[in-house]
Amino acid sequence: MTRPIRLARPLWESIIKRDLEIDLGRAGDLTTDATIPADACTTASVIARAGGRIAGIQIACAAFTMLDRQVDVTLHYDDGDDAETGTVLATVSGPARPVLTAERTALNMLGHLSGIATATCDVVRLVEGTGVRIAETRKTTPGLRVLEKYAVRCGGGSNHRYGLDDAAMIKDNHIAVAGSIGSAIEAVRRNVGHLVSIEIEVDNLDQLEEVMQHQIDVVLLDNMTTDELLVAVAMIDGRAIAEASGGITPDTARAIAETGVDVLSMGWLTHSAPNLDVALDVVF
């Protein structure tokens, strides 16, 4: 895979700062401050307790240096790398208090993002050879969308739209209020810039037939069977990107990909992917 470009610090710094503030509360780390001398130093290893695709290692480890610039972090793995069980992903050394205080913030972020990357990687491998792209949706954790979509890229997936402002997506409720598929498409076409892609969601082949009478960039084929998808792809015939969505799982991804659609969008990649098990072990 092509390794993703690391996210610029302004995109994630405030998120780590916020998480540290939540953990520190009003009085700081009562346990660490009471048990660890202020001048104590330590070295600890960030370890993958399970194998998977790594995402967010630099972002997560910034929690240590954000508390104390004297903490030194050495990364042994980068985002987009695959790590086996027991792998040392990073070494953290320096003042002991900030290392222990930032532990949970760092591990929460690393485990969450690596879990998304691992789940994405697994699905990408399942559909290998079909030419299908795997994407997430906007079903993301509030406040973490940029990071979760980055994790999908680390897993070899592609990103769907980031928000309501970077692409137009006409859904059933838009059509219901606008009055018809045609009126909704034409209204969007009149009101968005020439660089904005327009996607429309359809639930059945009758809707698709009507949609294909208009100029459209992407058609979202929602909750269709594989037989319906085969017909839908033939109807679209390359005139628009065919995106399958709705309840797609690793068990069904390959069969859906083989219908000839271009994209599989899977909300569970961000809202339900299990965390990758990671830990911080003090060496001395």
* Residues recognised as catalytic: 104, 139, 171, 201, 222
CA neighbor of 254 nearest in space, from 229, 217, 218: 229
Taking phi over 0 as left and psi of -120 to 50 as alpha, with beta for the rest, 25 belongs to left
The rounded distance, in Å, linking the Cα atoms of 94 and 110 is: 20
Q: Please name the amino acid found at residue 225.
A: T
Q: Please name the amino acid found at residue 109.
A: M
Hey, what are 273's tokens? 């992917």
Cβ–Cβ contacts within 10 Å for residue 166, how many?
11
- Do residues 111 and 219 touch, judged by C-beta distance below 8 A? no
Task: Tokens 């780590």: give the residue.
Answer: 16
The rounded distance, in Å, linking the Cα atoms of 111 and 88 is: 14
- Do residues 63 and 20 touch, judged by C-beta distance below 8 A? yes
- Do residues 105 and 19 touch, judged by C-beta distance below 8 A? yes
Which residues sit opposite 134 in a β-bridge? 264
The rounded distance, in Å, linking the Cα atoms of 21 and 105 is: 10
The rounded distance, in Å, linking the Cα atoms of 76 and 79 is: 10
